[in-house]
């Protein structure tokens, strides 16, 4: 009986062993790829996820994981199958990712807004064997960046800085330009307004600012922001601002005309403002003879411009932009200022020492005064230290050449003839 029991126990043990499986010899899970969900869908991009099953660590490390993409339709699955068999297929884009583990994500880029696509995950072994997942479809979102027009623009007499914001995803923003548009009438558009594109990136609040010059003083303007993307323009709300009235500048020195407290184009008396060639309405910031439009071919004689441009808005920038009775001063009015007011030199301290002249203050007998800056002007492409201010008249110099008069604000060089293509500031005056 004892021997029989031993034999039976051995049979039981063998049967138990036959019912168990050795982990080392168990079949591995089937190798394959699963296409996961497509998320973070924007007009120009989307994120697709895939899952790899049954691949060894070495295969994952040296394999190529990614996604295939084509236009949605009945032929999408066949196109992906062709790619699996041949490694290429018409109309199929390949996006490569990185599969450090069983799951991975791929950003599908350069998509078209509002378009339906088909995609599937793929994995290629180092030996060239290709696996593909099931086909899934998705649609990119419509292109709709939001342009926001912000309040409280900072307006001067001839300029304004307006602020705006853009609300969209980063990929869409990278394909857009944005800025602001202004106009004097109607809703500003890219077709009927003045447009300034912002060249800098958005700040932390997705905001930006742009500036406009050469505006008319005391004028109401409409403004709005815009975003230009993929051939379409998206506008913000239309708002208004007014430039400052030029009569705020008027200072009564007891003379025949009222003098401006600051240079043309400046917001404050200690600012340089804009520098113009004689008779020009826009600045080149160069002072180059090649930029000057009123010389003959030899560059010695004036053409198509009067000898006296005072008050003529076609040539007098003060008359054009300030309007009303504002204009450039005449030679006689400069001399009246010099002869009837006293000057005070104001110097600035730089690094513990007086560095250069800063301004002259002209004091009138009635207690009023104006400040005239130094260290400004352009000549032959150089922003040079100069103290000249244009008058609106020309006379023959000693060589018989017709040149405009510029005055040093100190009054020392009142009869200064200078080349008209040099760019100097203008100190406007207003008739009483």
- Do 259 and 348 sit in the same domain of this protein? yes
Q: Is residue 218 part of a domain?
A: yes
Q: Is residue 16 part of a domain?
A: no
pLDDT of residue 158: 97
- Do 130 and 195 sit in the same domain of this protein? no
pTM to 2 decimals? 0.80
Taking the C-alpha atoms of residue 371 and residue 260, their distance in angstroms, rounded to an integer, is: 9
Residues with pLDDT less than 70, the chain: 1-28, 297-300, 348-357, 375-376, 380-387, 400, 409-416
Domain span at residue 371 reads 246-431
Tell me the CATH number at 231.
Answer: 2.60.40.10
Task: Summarize pLDDT for 90-102 with one digit per residue, the tens.
Answer: 999 999 987 777 8
Q: Is residue 9 part of a domain?
A: no
Q: Is residue 283 part of a domain?
A: yes
Taking the C-alpha atoms of residue 93 and residue 76, their distance in angstroms, rounded to an integer, is: 12
Q: Is residue 12 part of a domain?
A: no
- Spatial strand order of the sheet with 250-251 comes to 250-251, 257-260, 429-431, 326-327
DSSP letters of 90-123? TT-EEEE---SSSEEEEEE-SPPTT-EEEEEEEE
Last residue of a domain, one of 242, 274, 300: 242
Task: Summarize pLDDT for 15-37 with one digit per residue, the tens.
Answer: 444 444 454 555 667 899 999 99
- Do 213 and 328 sit in the same domain of this protein? no
pLDDT of residue 290: 82
pLDDT of residue 252: 98
- Do 183 and 259 sit in the same domain of this protein? no
pLDDT of residue 195: 96
Total structural domains within the chain: 3
Q: Is residue 58 part of a domain?
A: yes
- Do 234 and 259 sit in the same domain of this protein? no
Tokens 């309040």 sit on residue: 151
Q: Is residue 367 part of a domain?
A: yes
Taking the C-alpha atoms of residue 390 and residue 232, their distance in angstroms, rounded to an integer, is: 46
- Do 294 and 371 sit in the same domain of this protein? yes
- Do 180 and 157 sit in the same domain of this protein? yes
Taking the C-alpha atoms of residue 249 and residue 101, their distance in angstroms, rounded to an integer, is: 72
């Amino acid at each position: 009986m004892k021997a029989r029991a031993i034999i039976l126990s051995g049979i039981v043990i063998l049967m138990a062993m036959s019912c168990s499986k050795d982990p080392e010899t168990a079949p591995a899970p089937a190798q394959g790829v699963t296409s996961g969900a497509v998320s973070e869908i924007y007009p120009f991009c989307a994120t697709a996820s895939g899952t790899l099953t049954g691949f060894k660590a070495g295969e994952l490390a040296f394999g190529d994981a990614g996604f295939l993409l084509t236009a949605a339709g009945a032929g999408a699955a066949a196109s992906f199958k062709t790619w699996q068999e041949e490694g290429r297929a018409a109309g199929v884009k390949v996006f490569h990712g990185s599969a450090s583990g069983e799951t991975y994500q791929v950003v599908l880029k350069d998509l078209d807004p509002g378009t339906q696509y088909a995609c599937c995950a793929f994995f290629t072994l180092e030996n060239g064997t290709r696996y593909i997942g099931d086909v899934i479809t998705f649609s990119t979102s419509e292109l709709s960046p939001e342009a926001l027009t912000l309040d409280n623009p900072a307006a001067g007499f001839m300029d304004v800085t307006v602020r705006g914001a853009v609300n969209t995803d980063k990929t869409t923003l990278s394909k857009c330009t944005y800025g602001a548009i202004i106009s004097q009438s109607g809703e500003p558009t890219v077709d009927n307004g003045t447009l300034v594109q912002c060249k800098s990136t958005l700040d932390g609040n997705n905001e930006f600012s742009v500036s406009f010059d050469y505006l008319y003083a005391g004028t109401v303007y409409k403004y709005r922001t815009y975003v230009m993307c993929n051939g379409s323009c998206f506008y913000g709300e239309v708002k208004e601002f007014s430039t400052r009235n030029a009569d705020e500048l008027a200072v009564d020195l007891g003379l025949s005309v009222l003098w401006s407290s600051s240079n043309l184009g400046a917001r404050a008396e200690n600012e340089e403002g804009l520098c113009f060639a004689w008779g020009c309405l826009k600045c080149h910031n160069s002072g180059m003879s090649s930029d000057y439009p009123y010389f003959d071919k030899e560059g010695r004689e004036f053409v198509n411009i009067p000898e006296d441009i005072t008050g003529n808005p076609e040539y007098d920038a003060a008359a054009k932009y300030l309007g009303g009775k504002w204009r450039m001063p005449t030679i006689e009015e400069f001399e009246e200022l010099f002869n009837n007011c006293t000057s005070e030199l104001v110097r600035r301290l730089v690094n513990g020492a007086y560095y250069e002249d800063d301004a002259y203050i002209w004091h009138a007998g009635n207690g009023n005064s104006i400040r005239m800056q130094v260290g400004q002007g352009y000549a032959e492409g150089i922003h040079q230290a100069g103290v000249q201010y244009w008058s609106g008249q020309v006379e023959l110099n000693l060589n018989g050449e017709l040149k405009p008069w510029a005055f040093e604000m100190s009054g020392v060089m009142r009869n200064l003839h200078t080349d008209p293509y040099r760019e100097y500031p203008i100190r406007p005056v207003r008739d009483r």
